[in-house]
Structure 1
Amino acid sequence: MTEPDPPLFYKCHIFVCCNKRPDGHPRGSCAARGSEKLRDYMKARMKELRVPQSRVNSAGCLERCEFGPALVIYPEGVWYQARTNADIDEILDTHILHGGRVARLMLTEHDVPPPKA
Structure 2
Amino acid sequence: MQTPAHHLFVCGSFRANGSPAGACAKKESLALVQYLQGEVDDRGLEGVVVSMTGCLNCCVNGPVVIDYPSGHWYRGVTEDVADEILDAIEEGDGVATAHLIPA
| TM-score bracket relative to the smaller structure | 0.7 to 0.9
Q: What is the CA–CA distance in structure 1 between the aligned matches of 2:27 and 2:10, rounded to whole Å?
A: 12
How far the C-alpha of 1:87 sits from its partner, in A, is 1.1
Q: What is the CA–CA distance in structure 2 between the aligned matches of 1:73 and 1:59, rounded to whole Å?
A: 12
Alpha-carbon RMSD across the aligned residues, in angstroms, is 1.7
User: 3-state SS of the aligned residue for 1:107?
Assistant: coil
Q: Is residue 88 of structure 2 the alignment partner of residue 98 of structure 1?
A: no
TM-score, normalised to structure 2, is: 0.83
Residue type of the partner of 1:32? K
Identity in percent = 32
Uncovered stretches (5+) of structure 2, i.e. residues with no partner? 14-19
The 8 Å contact of residues 34 and 83 in structure 1, kept in 2 or not, is answered as no
| 4+ long deviations beyond 6 Å | none
TM-score, normalised to structure 1, is: 0.74
Q: 2:24 aligns with which of 30, 52, 58?
A: 30
Q: CA separation of 1:78/1:91 partners in 2, compared to 1, >3 Å: closer, same or farther?
A: same
Q: What is the CA–CA distance in structure 2 between the aligned matches of 1:81 and 1:39, rounded to whole Å?
A: 14
Count of residue pairs brought into register by the alignment: 96
Uncovered stretches (5+) of structure 1, i.e. residues with no partner? 1-7, 22-27, 110-117
Q: Is residue 12 of structure 2 the alignment partner of residue 18 of structure 1?
A: yes
Q: Residue 16 of structure 2 aligns with which residue?
A: none
Q: Which has the higher helix share?
A: 2
Residue type of the partner of 2:23? S
